[in-house]
Amino acid sequence: MNQKAERVAVCPGSYDPVTNGHLDIITRASHIFDRVVVGVVNQPIRKKKTLFTADERISFIEEATAHLGNVEVQAFYTLLVEFARDNGAQAIVKGLRAISDFEYENEMAQLNSKLDSEIESFYVFARPEYSFLSSTGVKEMATFNGDVGDLVPAPVAAALADRLGRD
């Protein structure tokens, strides 16, 4: 019998915290690939200290993706291509919101391809309703007690209000 290889994608990010835009990309990837491994970078190199610990960021995503049977969440501490290889993934899937994302993502895709040309980077266009949405923007809104209820899962909104909201 001709057995088809399992198609596995990794969806990497800082996810500090996960937004509904991230969850839309993960969900859409889960419809195309047999298995999706969400990779939560332990300590992002190009960013300041994260607001939430890796364990917290992982829990938020696990809770929000529990209904998707082919999605799992892991922390990673290595090069992304190593994390992909360790999980038997052939693809990196990321969202692309606007032209402003393009330059950085183009650099990332080229660097990752140089490190391992067997692993393809695929970019999924953000839906219009999420094209303005970022973890940074959500944190700024929460700092000034703005309503982020439509932008992140309810447990994330509560945690943001708890950690950042002003009395």
Catalytic residues: 22, 48, 97, 135
Residue 159 CB contacts under 8 Å (≥ 6 apart), including other chains: 17, 52, 56, 60
Residue from 27, 28, 42, 44 in contact with ligand PNS (CB under 6 A): 44
* Residue corresponding to tokens 């650099």: 107
The residue among 35 and 57 lying less far from ligand PNS, judged by its C-beta, is 57
Residue 115 CB contacts under 8 Å (≥ 6 apart), including other chains: 79, 81
Piece of the chain touching ligand PNS by CB under 6 A; list 25-33, 64-72, 108-116, 158-166:
108-116
Distance CA 20, CA 154 (A): 10
Give, as ranges, the residues between 1 and 30 that touch ligand PNS (CB under 6 A).
12-14
| Shortest distance, position 156 Cβ to ligand PNS, whole Å | 15
The residue among 44 and 146 lying less far from ligand PNS, judged by its C-beta, is 44
Give, as ranges, the residues between 127 and 156 that touch ligand PNS (CB under 6 A).
none
Structure-token pair, residue 139: 């944190």
Q: Which of 8, 17, 7, 9 is nearest to 135 (CA)?
A: 17
By rule CB under 6 A, what count of residues binds ligand PNS?
Answer: 11
Q: Applying CB under 6 A, does 79 fall inside the site for ligand PNS? A: yes
Element (H, E) at 130: none
